[in-house]
A and B are shown apart, each in its own frame.
Chain A
Amino acid sequence: MKPEKSCAASSETALQTEHAAQYANGLLTDLGFSPNVETLADHPALSYRRSGLLKTTGLMLPFPLASHIDGALMALKTLASTAEKLPNCGSLLLGERARLRETVRDGRFCAGGYGRLIETKDGLIALNLVREDDWDLIPAWLEDYAQNWDDIERFSAEKDADYLVERAAEIGLAVAKDEMPPKPESWFSIQSFTQAKCSNPLIVDLSGLWAGPLASSLLSLAGARVIKVESPTRPDGMRGGHQGFYSLLNAGKDCVALNFRDADDLEKLKGLLEKADIVIEASRPRALRQLGIRAEDFVARQPGKIWARLTAYGQAENRIGFGDDIGISAGLASIMGQAHGEPCFVGDAIADPVNGVHLALAIQAYLKKGGGVVIDLTMRDVLRCAMGDIPQDCAAIAREWQDLVDQDNMPLYQMREPGGEVKLLGADNEVWV
């Protein structure tokens, strides 16, 4: 068996580029730090292949997304006080789940298997039916008795994409339009409050699935203490998924279970939040508001606190999204259409790991600056920024980069091992609440 190699130790310097460092320095500048990353990293085509994204997608991506995530992690390492435990490279994180689960894209289905590109009257949409009872919503969404993918295709073909996206948003289905949005001005936004120094931060992570837990996991590797909070009636769904992957994202975290609908538990949650220096959440904007919890109040009450939140399409929208469909809304299918004549999903829930790394970086940066801030990341915008400027000649670059990887016989990047104990739901209730 060939030894797997880490991306930090590449030897073929001729195939190393500055894409990662340039992106890292851009992020550091955005966050108010001086650009100080000079490390070369693998050529974008090579990191795309060696992270597993090429195999998952089946087609070359003609811009340096994988390198940019290498860069985002480099930036995080420059800001972290202890960086040794952080992963060798960022792009590795993009391919971990698909490599562990051995899933690949299947035509118009995404690698996870629940999302699919669908033709409407005026273009493609991505529909992602990840939750068991999402199928119950399909008749209401299409205003017809659709029961399977063929029905969905048939009814969608008669309707406009925008209409379907709007109805899905109202009902709470993950639907995104295939489009190529312009690059946003910024990949995060903040509201500033009073700063104060914080050395050993305690993170309360209310998020689930991939992006939020990845962010808190990276921060835990960088030295923070993390409490994962779940509802006993609605625990992190990833607990029921691939165990190795769950461990990668959640090892080393304390686990607290609180039923947000129970008045006593809700008080305990509020008490726990008071102890936190940093809160991470990815809920729909109205969800916590309906429980009487407001990010701005939390940060305003005491100096130095950080509340970091992720939404699919922004705080102003109550629209849900998951990693794969958000990828389509950021333009990935559109670019694959230009490059290969085949619009398709790229990677595996790609917006999730991309946002996880950026969220960890933003939190680490503001922690260093003294906190006192509400940080908002919009997943579509972060992914679109990480895609960078899109080249005109996508097809030519895709061919050139494919030739390059065809000659690459290096093994894929070495997979990580979970760092620390993986705890059961609510294992640390007695300690914390």
Chain B
Amino acid sequence: MGQIYKPGTKLSSTVCKTQIMALRVPAQELIISCGGAPMQIGDPPELGEMQGENSGTLVGKRYTDADETMEFLCTRGGEGTVSVEGYVIDIKAAKKLPSSD
């Protein structure tokens, strides 16, 4: 029941306040979950129960998978942990500061 996502798409958790935006995603069907439940495009109304172990998301942080094939930006923090195809995605190192602007 995966879906192909475009960069810029916003996904919301159905079990907490987390909202993420896809920055970079492979062009293949993906199942993206938060707190154990699939995330939905837009603002889903009802909050279900969180499943499994969750360490939460932080607004403004970028999350990526182990191989950095995809990247998401947390646009609203929450208690759930985001996973793609069952694998937890983690905070990416901060952007290098520019050598000039």
How many residues belonging to A are interface residues under a CB distance threshold of 8 Å?
47
Could you tell me if A286 and B60 are in contact, using CB atoms closer than 8 angstroms? yes
From B22, B60, B71, B100, contact of A237 by CB (8 A) = B100
Question: Do A140 and B100 form a contact, CB below 8 Å, given A171-B23, A233-B93, A318-B60?
Answer: no
From A141, A208, A209, A290, contact of B58 by CB (8 A) = A290
A352 within 8 A of B: yes
Question: Do A286 and B59 form a contact, CB below 8 Å, given A139-B7, A139-B8?
Answer: yes
B94 within 8 A of A: yes
Could you tell me if A128 and B101 are in contact, using CB atoms closer than 8 angstroms? yes
B34 within 8 A of A: no
24 A-B pairs (CB sep. < 8 Å): A112-B101, A114-B98, A114-B100, A131-B98, A132-B95, A139-B23, A140-B8, A140-B73, A141-B8, A143-B6, A143-B8, A143-B9, A145-B7, A171-B23, A172-B73, A172-B95, A209-B97, A234-B97, A237-B99, A242-B100, A286-B60, A290-B58, A318-B60, A322-B98
Of all chain B residues, the one with the shortest Cβ separation from A137 is B23
Q: How far is the CB of B21 from chain A (nearest CB, A)?
A: 6
By a CB distance below 8 angstroms, the chain A residues around B73 are 140, 170-172
Q: How far is the CA of A133 from the CA of B93 in the complex (A)?
A: 12
Question: Do A234 and B71 form a contact, CB below 8 Å, given A140-B23, A241-B99?
Answer: no
Question: Do A114 and B101 form a contact, CB below 8 Å, given A139-B8, A141-B8?
Answer: yes
Q: How far is the CB of A194 from chain B (nearest CB, A)?
A: 33
By a CB distance below 8 angstroms, the chain B residues around A237 are 96-100
B17 within 8 A of A: no
Interface size band for B: 20 to 34
Identify 20 new A-B residue pairs, CB closer than 8 A, beyond the known A171-B23, A287-B60: A114-B98, A132-B98, A136-B71, A140-B23, A140-B73, A143-B7, A143-B8, A172-B60, A172-B73, A210-B101, A234-B93, A234-B95, A234-B97, A237-B100, A238-B97, A240-B99, A241-B100, A284-B60, A286-B59, A322-B98
Q: How far is the CA of A208 from the CA of B96 in the complex (A)?
A: 12
By a CB distance below 8 angstroms, the chain A residues around B94 are 233-234
By a CB distance below 8 angstroms, the chain B residues around A352 are 101
Q: How far is the CB of A354 from chain B (nearest CB, A)?
A: 14
From A101, A171, A241, A323, contact of B21 by CB (8 A) = A171
In the complex, per-residue mask of A303-327: 1 if CB is within 8 Å of any chain B CB, else 0: 0000000000000001000111000
